[in-house]
């Protein structure tokens, strides 16, 4: 069974479009995250939610808006896509907010903005 | 200075070699430490947590030196299947569980 799943796996779109990425975890975890991995393979956190509440919001443009309908889901909506948004976006989840619990990553969504 | 730094490599080693990766972190409030493995075009997967006393899992040994603020990963008798990028990650107290990753060290094990 897939622990952390993301859709779509690949996303190719034009500049200026709006797109969403969905994430679901079936691990019963309380905390979910969005990370961005750029072309230089640097993996950086964007957002973190605990029980549907935003607890980490890094310096990310307002065009990125996470939404957590319940603690098993964390979606990422991106408005007015730019070339620099091209990257791999990973969702992750962990069991305890603020704690050192292992984070489990989804398979990633490869976004290419043309 | 980056919060977490690793030698980007690549490290090219023959099968059976012992290879060591180092990772330094700048925030002394760092609480927990991890090594993740990332295969090409895949998600990071936890390899080991790193404890103050050091810990070993088969061919892999992780060490933490809080005084010098670095962690290390030693791989003995390397296998072809060990080829991957190894990411160190640090969790800092009070930052809501976010992991700060190093840029990763690429390892290529050759026959």
Q: How far are the Cα atoms of A37, A48, A55, A99, B24 from residue B42, in angstroms, in the given order?
A: 11, 21, 27, 25, 25
**Per-residue pLDDT tens digits for A26-43:** 998 888 999 999 988 889
**Per-residue pLDDT tens digits for B55-103:** 999 999 999 999 999 999 999 999 999 999 999 999 876 666 678 999 9
- The pLDDT value given to residue A18: 97
Which residues from A are below 8 Å from B31, CB to CB? 100
Backbone angles phi, psi at B94, to 5 degrees: 80, 10
What is the pLDDT averaged over residues A88-108?
A: 82
Q: Give yes or no for residue A98 having a pLDDT over 60.
A: no
* CB contact A107 to B (< 8 Å): yes
Comparing CA positions, the residue from B2, B1, B5 lying closest to residue B87 is B5
Residue environment code for B20-33, b if the CB has 16+ CB neighbours within 10 A, otherwise e? ebbbbbeeeebebb
Which residues from B are below 8 Å from A31, CB to CB? 97
Cβ–Cβ of B97/A105 closer than 8 Å?
no
Facing A48 at nearest CB: one of B31, B94, B96: B96
Cβ–Cβ of B44/A105 closer than 8 Å?
yes
Higher pLDDT, A62 or B27: A62
SS3 A84: helix
- The pLDDT value given to residue A82: 96
Instruction: List B12's β-bridge partners, or say none.
Output: B108
Q: How far are the Cα atoms of A38, A76, B105, B106 from residue B3, in angstroms, in the given order?
A: 17, 26, 16, 19
Q: What is the mean pLDDT of chain B?
A: 91
Cβ–Cβ of B101/A99 closer than 8 Å?
no
The first and second tokens of residue B39, run together, are: 């295969």
Q: Could you tell me if A95 and B97 are in contact, meaning their C-beta atoms sit under 8 angstroms apart? A: no
Q: Is B9 exposed, middle or buried (0-12, 13-18, 19+ CB in 10 A)?
A: middle
Q: At A96, is the pLDDT very low, low, confident or very high (cuts 50, 70, 90)?
A: low
The separation between CA A56 and the C-alpha centre of its own chain, rounded to angstroms, equals 12
Question: Which of B33, B43, B84, B102 to substitute to test the interface with A, most A CBs within 10 Å?
Answer: B43
SS3 B82: helix
């Amino acid at each position: 069974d897939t622990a952390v799943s993301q859709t779509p796996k690949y996303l190719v779109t034009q500049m200026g479009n709006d797109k969403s990425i969905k994430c679901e975890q079936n691990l019963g975890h309380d905390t979910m995250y969005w990370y961005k991995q750029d072309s230089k393979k640097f993996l950086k956190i964007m957002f973190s939610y605990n029980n549907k509440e935003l607890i980490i919001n890094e310096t990310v443009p307002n065009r990125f808006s996470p939404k957590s309908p319940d603690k098993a889901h964390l979606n990422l909506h991106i408005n007015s896509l730019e070339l620099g948004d091209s990257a791999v976006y990973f969702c992750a989840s962990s069991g305890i907010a603020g704690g050192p619990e292992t984070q489990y990553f989804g398979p990633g969504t490869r976004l290419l903005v043309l | 200075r980056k919060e977490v730094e690793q030698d980007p490599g690549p490290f090219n080693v023959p099968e059976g070699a012992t290879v060591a990766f180092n990772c330094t972190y700048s925030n002394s409030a760092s609480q927990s430490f991890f090594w993740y493995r990332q295969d090409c075009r895949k998600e990071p997967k936890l390899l080991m947590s790193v404890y103050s006393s050091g810990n070993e899992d088969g061919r892999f040994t992780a060490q933490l030196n809080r005084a010098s603020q670095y962690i290390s990963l030693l791989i003995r008798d390397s296998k072809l299947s060990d080829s991957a990028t190894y990411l160190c990650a640090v969790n800092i107290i009070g930052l809501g569980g976010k992991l700060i990753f190093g840029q990763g060290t690429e390892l290529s094990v050759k026959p």
